[in-house]
């Protein structure tokens, strides 16, 4: 379906998930982390992506905007009937965060185009939709960086939360994604949920660390993110967890330098297989 000449299938794609832990102060309701946003915007500008056939797709999370209202109003990752006021309040907060992020990217001359997840993904939110694939191609053709974000998802069964991480997984399963970079407010994955000691530079299995979720988290936090990372690594995606607020680490990972301080998932080459 996607194998058109000059289509996204012929590109080499990096996905950067800008975590809510990085772009907001996650434990403080409705609080933007301006320093984190600025740092991210500068790293993306310096990466010079997109360039030639190397493309960048941005996805961001909800942090203390989306997660705060989701928690307050009982929105979860399963569909249920929710007060329309609560839905509108939550999507409004996400729009606010999204607009703030876009504006700061623009100040750094990083030009993005929004593709909402309901447009980007298929009905089951597991792959790209036909429309999503076309929109990505059209962004790339116009040198725009496509950006999507975790948000409230609606169906006849009610409302649920679709996380930015789930969007990344659906995109990475549909396209030739070379690298998936989770930019967060911590240096990588720590063995200990108290975030003590040094990070694990090569994560070989999911039992190597313990975790706990942040105050407002409704989408499973780091444990779910790491499981997702392993699923994608088994299919050939290079997965990294990096602090988006420190030095040039994010920039180095975006441009493929391997010596930046970060955690990468290492499953050994023999385990890599293709999607069925
Ligand atoms: N062992 C661990 N190693 C690294 N981070 C951990 C660990 N245990 C818990 N954490 C927490 O996980 C957080 C990152 O996951 P989280 O889902 O909160 O962030 P995010 O994906 O950036 O946010 P969002 O879901 O809003 O996009 C870190 O801020 C850290 O406090
Ligand atoms: Mg999260």
Pocket of ligand 1 (CB under 6 A): 19-22, 26, 61-63, 67, 164, 184-186, 189-190, 193, 195, 209, 211-212, 214, 217, 219, 221-222, 225
Atom of ligand 1 nearest to the CA of 67: 26
pTM for this model (two decimals): 0.95
Residues 54, 23: Cα–Cα separation, whole Å: 25
Among candidate residues 7, 39, 65, the one with its CA nearest the CA of residue 248: 39
Strands 158-162 and 202-203 turn out to be unpaired
What is the pLDDT at residue 245?
96
Residues 70, 161: Cα–Cα separation, whole Å: 8
What is the pLDDT at residue 274?
64
The 8-class DSSP code of residue 215 comes to T
Atom of ligand 1 nearest to the CA of 199: 3
Which DSSP helix (H) or strand (E) runs through 202? strand 202-203
Residues 39, 259: Cα–Cα separation, whole Å: 19
Q: Which two tokens stand for residue 184?
A: 């967060």
DSSP-derived 3-state class of residue 99 = helix
Atom of ligand 1 nearest to the CA of 217: 18
DSSP-derived 3-state class of residue 164 = helix
The set of residues, in sequence order, having a beta carbon less than 8 Å from that of 51 and lying 6+ positions away, is: none
DSSP-derived 3-state class of residue 55 = strand
φ/ψ of 78, rounded to 5, equals -110, 150
φ/ψ of 159, rounded to 5, equals -120, 150
pLDDT tens across the length of the chain (276 residues) = 344 445 776 679 999 999 999 999 999 999 999 999 999 999 999 999 999 999 999 999 999 999 999 999 999 999 999 999 999 999 999 999 999 999 999 999 999 999 999 999 999 999 999 999 999 999 999 999 999 999 999 999 999 999 999 999 999 999 999 999 999 999 999 999 999 999 999 999 999 999 998 888 899 889 999 999 999 999 899 999 999 999 899 999 999 997 899 999 999 876 676 664
What is the pLDDT at residue 22?
98
What is the pLDDT at residue 216?
87
């Amino acid at each position: 379906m996607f194998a058109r000449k000059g289509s996204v299938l012929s590109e080499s794609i990096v996905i950067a998930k800008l975590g809510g832990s990085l772009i907001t102060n996650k434990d403080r309701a409705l609080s933007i982390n301006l320093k984190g946003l600025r740092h991210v915007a500068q790293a993306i500008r310096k990466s010079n992506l997109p360039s030639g056939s190397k493309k960048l797709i941005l996805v961001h999370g909800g942090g203390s905007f989306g997660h705060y209202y989701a928690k307050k109003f009982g929105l979860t990752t399963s569909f249920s009937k929710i007060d329309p006021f609560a839905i509108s309040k939550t999507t409004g907060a996400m729009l606010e965060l999204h607009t703030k992020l876009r504006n700061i990217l623009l100040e750094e001359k990083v030009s993005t185009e929004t593709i909402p997840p309901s447009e980007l993904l298929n009905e089951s939110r597991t792959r790209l939709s036909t429309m999503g694939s076309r929109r990505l191609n059209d962004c790339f053709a116009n040198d725009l960086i496509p950006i999507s974000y975790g948000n409230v998802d609606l169906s006849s069964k009610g409302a649920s939360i679709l996380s930015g991480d789930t969007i990344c997984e659906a995109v990475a399963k549909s396209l030739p994604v070379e690298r998936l970079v989770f930019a967060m407010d911590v240096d990588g994955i720590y063995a200990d949920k108290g975030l003590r000691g040094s990070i694990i530079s090569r994560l070989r299995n999911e039992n190597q660390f313990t975790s706990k979720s942040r105050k407002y988290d409704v989408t499973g936090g780091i444990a779910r993110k790491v499981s997702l990372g392993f699923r994608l690594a088994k299919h050939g995606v290079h997965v990294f967890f990096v602090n988006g607020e420190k030095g040039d680490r994010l920039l180095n990972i975006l441009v493929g330098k391997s010596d930046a301080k970060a955690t990468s998932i290492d499953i050994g080459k023999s385990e890599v297989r293709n999607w069925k």
